[in-house]
Amino acid sequence: MTRARVFARLASALGPVWAFLAVLCAGFLLILAISSDPLLAYRDLLLSNFASASNFALFLNRLMPLLLIGLGVIFSFRAGVFNIGGEGQLYLGAIAAASVALALPNLPHALALALPIAASVLAGAVYGWIPGALKVGLEVNEVVSTLMLNFVALLLTEYLVTNPLRDPVAYGAVSYVVPHSSWLAEIPGLPGSTVGSIVAIAIAPIAWVSLFRTAWGANLRAAGSNMRFAETVGVHGKRLVLQAMAISGGLAGLAGGFYVLGIGHRFEQNFSPSFGLVGLTVALLARLHPIGLVATAAIYALILNGAAYMQIDTDVPRSLVALLTGILVLIMTMRPRRGPAEA
């Protein structure tokens, strides 16, 4: 790689950093206008995540689903399928993990972990495969089908958690607590965290390699960018689309499984503050790049969690964050045009 190309790479990687800094400045002006203690508000927003081990654990917990769903979005979008069904796939993965763990309480520890995790991946994968098959076979628009399937998943899990799985002594619509043998370990030194977050971070480079450094990934992106071209050069494009959708759903399902086994330890209705939508946003902000996604997901997790501390300590409402993330999306999707159009 030439030096010029290294610089070009660095410059394009720095773009989002500048955008983030610009948003922080804009946000500071806003807080200055409404708050009596702007410095404290900003310190809370940015630094509380690192103030204690348990705060940092919460940050990682928030990062995990965003990363996994975002990676799933990257696989499906790169295959040319606009899968916006991450939320539904997440819920199905979560309920599948909870159901299997509750149904088989007396398994040895390894199996008690492996089976629910496998169930969550499988449930998500099947749920992603369905709109993929509908698109490939019947040309059903995947935006519509994945969006609709979100409602199906949400209502199905709602039924399950308010009826057969409901823990009658707990407050709210939650399932029984899954047996201890099915709990994911904490990251040592970070109480309340889960090794699921480490797994999620580790999957990002694997996703990058498989998409950009394997023949499979090249074929997948060929199918995603021009299906007729892929067919012409002998790539089984439709098969790859189905695989990408299964992976996409499987990753979102895994996020649900990790949440139940590592964070909530039970299925909770409304456990997701729109992880599906935010996962989609961070994947698009990362321009569908798995490594960039780690950064954008981390930024989102940081300010989403930081906002909670800020609201407790100061008079700044946490809805400020919606404003900040809105500005961030705006800045990062801007394409300033320099000079006249090329002929």
Residues that bind other proteins (CB under 8 A): 209, 213-216, 218-219, 221-222, 225-226, 228-236, 340-343
Q: Cβ 235 to other proteins, closest distance in Å?
A: 7
Q: Toward other proteins, which CB reaches closer, 211 or 297?
A: 211
How many of the other CB atoms lie within 10 Å of CB of 218? 13
Q: Toward other proteins, which CB reaches closer, 1 or 29?
A: 1
Q: Toward other proteins, which CB reaches closer, 67 or 223?
A: 223
Instruction: Report the SS3 class of residue 183.
Output: coil
Q: Toward other proteins, which CB reaches closer, 95 or 235?
A: 235
What dihedral angle (degrees, nearest 10) is formed by the CA atoms of 108, 112, 118, 124?
170
User: Residue 260 corresponds to which tokens in the numbers above?
Assistant: 């139940």
| Angstrom distances, CA of residue 158 to CA of 72, 163, 214, 225 | 24, 8, 40, 37
Q: Toward other proteins, which CB reaches closer, 197 or 219?
A: 219
Q: Toward other proteins, which CB reaches closer, 3 or 36?
A: 3
Q: Cβ 68 to other proteins, closest distance in Å?
A: 23
For 327, counting Cβ atoms within 10 Å of its Cβ (0-12 exposed, 13-18 middle, 19+ buried), the class is middle
Q: Toward other proteins, which CB reaches closer, 215 or 334?
A: 215
Q: Cβ 11 to other proteins, closest distance in Å?
A: 16
d(CA 288, CA 274): 19
d(CA 51, CA 48): 5
Q: Cβ 252 to other proteins, closest distance in Å?
A: 24
**CB-based contact 175:165 (threshold 8 Å):** yes
User: Residue 295 corresponds to which tokens in the numbers above?
Assistant: 């950064």
**CB-based contact 243:210 (threshold 8 Å):** no
Q: Cβ 41 to other proteins, closest distance in Å?
A: 43
Q: Toward other proteins, which CB reaches closer, 84 or 220?
A: 220
How does 136-173 read in b/e, with b if 16+ C-beta sit within 10 Å? beeeeebeebbbebbeebbeebeebbeeebbbeeeeeb
Distance of CA 185 to the CA centre of its chain: 21
Q: Toward other proteins, which CB reaches closer, 226 or 319?
A: 226
Q: Cβ 3 to other proteins, closest distance in Å?
A: 15
**CB-based contact 166:174 (threshold 8 Å):** yes
| Phi, psi dihedral angles at 174 (to 5 degrees) | -135, 155
Q: How many residues are given for the chain?
A: 343
Q: Cβ 297 to other proteins, closest distance in Å?
A: 25
Q: Cβ 206 to other proteins, closest distance in Å?
A: 11
Q: Cβ 230 to other proteins, closest distance in Å?
A: 8
DSSP-derived secondary structure letter, 182? G
d(CA 13, CA 218): 22
